[in-house]
């Protein structure tokens, strides 16, 4: 591997990473997309010029190009049933073959329906204090793999059917026990008890382990998927991150975080191992306005803006919660850039969606009502308590807005808006996305990308 472009979101997810990955694969002729974090909860939409759309979850967002392969690194969590559904959807788009272009590290943790159901039980049990989980079981599987003594199913277990079945059976029993204990702790007065009992009943259905073992083996051993710990030799690869830096397990705004490392850390470790001499381009992706899916602080949130910018792909979700919008937030952007250690190229997406809205505004500082002082930078917090305190504090801070001229067509006003974003972030904008397709991308700094 001679060149690696590493793509990371700089928000709370939903920045447009899938579209940017697809564009970078086309622009650089990349042969491989490496997924370096996350799991089946990703929703990376790619729109083709002919209108076809696919929401990538586990397969790399460059797979709509013939011959481009996907490598699921050891940091990925894999749901084989969701993977099968995604591959079938791609096949309906005419993308053949799918499985023969897919490589998976056998050390990847498998997300089972047992994880999903217990994940949903835990989230329901939190009531009004929900964290905003996607309800797919990814966090449950990730944390299980890090706790000693708990059964963990990995992709490589399909090579040993007897071991796969015994581990799935043990995991099933453990999850039933955990769910029963949780309901006992909550007691009969919990307002969500009927829904919780329904989930427990679904978890307790018999013969689940045997059926899963059979289906996992049929998919991962017999469909042309290659199980390997290293990617194939290629000239150029795009590393596709999931979620966003502000959700990082170690640096994000706790408790509204993912158990995944959403910074560049995983990608850096993989490149140090596979191709230490490769040229690396760190690509940060950020929308031209703020977004968040589900619970947690969003200081510049504006319900009126959401009403004027209906989301094309992200919908309100029973588990994750509603999709939320706000004005561009320079403080959170700078905080995300510090979290990932800076980027070599910044891509601002969805600029076209602001056209025709009239006067705009951006936030470059907050006012702390208690202190009566402006806040220009968020403190870097490492301890969980300090990160939780920062999250709580964000609810009380008042964004200080800078008015900006709007525009109907690209021109001086839109250019000024981009320049203001770059100035606030102290990072040049290397490219813009002015629409959903690869053809809608505009390079501002050819040397960066």
- Residue 295 sits in a domain whose CATH number is 3.40.440.10
Q: Supply φ then ψ for residue 46, to 5 degrees.
A: -125, 130
Closest by alpha carbon to 348, among 243, 256, 236, 445? 445
State the chain's mean pLDDT as an integer: 92
* pLDDT at position 314: 67
Say if residue 278 is in the same domain as residue 139. no
pLDDT band at 162 (very low <50, low <70, confident <90, very high): very high
**pLDDT average, residue stretch 428-448:** 96
What residues make up the domain containing 193? 109-223
Known catalytic membership, residue 44: yes
| Mode of pairing for the β-strands spanning 32-35 and 236-240 | parallel
Taking a C-beta distance cutoff of 8 angstroms, is the pair 267, 278 a contact?
A: no
Cβ(115)–Cβ(152) below 8 Å: no
Same domain, 201 and 271: no
- pTM, two decimals, is 0.94
Query: Which of helix, strand or coil describes residue 212?
Result: helix
CA angle 386, 392, 394 (to 5 degrees): 105
219 and 238 belong to one structural domain: no
d(CA 24, CA 126): 40
Q: Both 198 and 301 in a single domain?
A: no
> Per the residue annotation, which of 14, 22, 105, 364 is the catalytic one?
14
Closest CA to 93 of 59, 126, 138, 132: 59
pLDDT digits over 335-351, tens only?
Answer: 999 999 999 999 999 99
What is the chain's percent helix, strand, coil content, to nearest 5? 40, 20, 40
**Any domain includes 442:** no
Q: 120: which residues sit within 8 A by CB, 6+ positions away?
A: 133, 135, 137, 199, 319
Helix (H, G, I), strand (E, B) or coil at 9: strand
**Would residue 14 show up in a list of annotated catalytic residues for this protein?**
yes
β-bridge partners, 334: none
- Of 223, 242, 276, the residue at which a domain comes to its end is 223
Residue 149 has pLDDT above 80, yes or no: yes
Q: Which of 171, 199, 223 represents a domain boundary (last residue)?
A: 223
The closest alpha carbon to 59, from 240, 265, 261, belongs to 240
Q: What is the pLDDT of residue 51?
A: 86
pLDDT digits (tens, 9 = 90+) for 28-75: 999 999 999 999 999 999 999 988 899 999 999 999 999 999 999 999
183 vs 148: CA distance, rounded Å: 24
Exactly one of 3, 22, 28, 44 is catalytic; which is it? 44
Using only C-alpha atoms, the chain has a radius of gyration, in whole angstroms, of 22
Question: Structurally, how many domains does the chain consist of?
Answer: 2
Residue 440 within a domain: no
Same domain for 248 and 269, yes or no, is yes
């Amino acid at each position: 591997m001679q060149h690696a472009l590493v793509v990371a979101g700089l928000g709370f997810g939903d920045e447009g990473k899938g579209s940017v990955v697809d564009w970078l694969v086309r622009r650089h002729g990349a042969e491989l997309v490496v997924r370096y974090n996350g799991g089946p909860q990703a929703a990376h939409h790619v729109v083709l010029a002919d209108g076809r759309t696919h929401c990538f979850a586990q397969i790399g967002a460059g797979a709509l190009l013939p011959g481009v392969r996907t490598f699921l690194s050891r940091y990925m969590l894999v749901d084989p049933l969701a993977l099968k559904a995604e591959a079938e959807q791609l096949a309906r788009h005419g993308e053949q073959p799918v499985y023969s272009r897919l490589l998976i590290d056998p050390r990847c943790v498998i997300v089972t329906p047992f994880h999903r159901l217990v994940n949903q039980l835990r989230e329901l049990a939190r009531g009004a204090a929900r964290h905003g989980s996607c309800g797919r079981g990814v966090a449950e599987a990730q944390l299980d793999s890090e706790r000693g003594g708990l059964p963990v199913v990995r992709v490589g277990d399909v090579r040993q059917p007897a071991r796969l079945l015994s581990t799935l059976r043990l995991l099933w029993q453990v999850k039933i026990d955990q769910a029963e204990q949780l309901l006992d702790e909550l007691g009969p007065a919990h307002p969500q008890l009927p829904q919780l009992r329904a989930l427990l009943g679904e978890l307790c259905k018999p013969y689940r382990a045997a059926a899963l073992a059979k289906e996992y083996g049929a998919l991962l051993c017999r469909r042309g998927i290659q199980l390997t710990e290293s990617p194939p030799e290629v000239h150029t690869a795009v590393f596709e991150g999931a979620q966003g830096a502000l959700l990082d397990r170690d640096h994000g705004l706790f408790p509204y975080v993912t158990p995944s490392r959403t910074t560049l850390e995983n990608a850096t470790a993989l490149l140090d191992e596979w191709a230490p001499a490769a040229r690396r381009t760190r690509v940060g992706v950020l929308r031209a306005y703020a977004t968040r899916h589900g619970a947690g602080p969003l200081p510049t949130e504006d319900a009126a803006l959401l009403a004027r910018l209906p989301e094309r792909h992200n919908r309100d979700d029973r588990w994750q919660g509603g999709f939320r919008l706000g004005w561009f937030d320079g403080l959170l952007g700078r905080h995300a850039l510090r979290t990932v250690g800076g980027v070599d190229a910044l891509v601002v997406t969805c600029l076209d969606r602001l056209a025709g809205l009239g006067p705009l505004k951006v936030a470059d500082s907050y006012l702390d009502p208690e202190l009566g002082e402006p806040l220009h930078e968020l403190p870097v917090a490492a301890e969980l308590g300090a990160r939780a305190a920062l999250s709580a504090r964000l609810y009380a801070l008042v964004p200080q807005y800078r008015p900006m001229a709007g525009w109907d067509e690209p021109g001086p006003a839109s250019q000024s808006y981009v320049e203001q974003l770059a100035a606030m972030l102290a990072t040049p904008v290397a490219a813009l996305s002015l629409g959903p397709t690869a053809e809608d991308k505009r390079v501002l700094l050819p040397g960066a990308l």
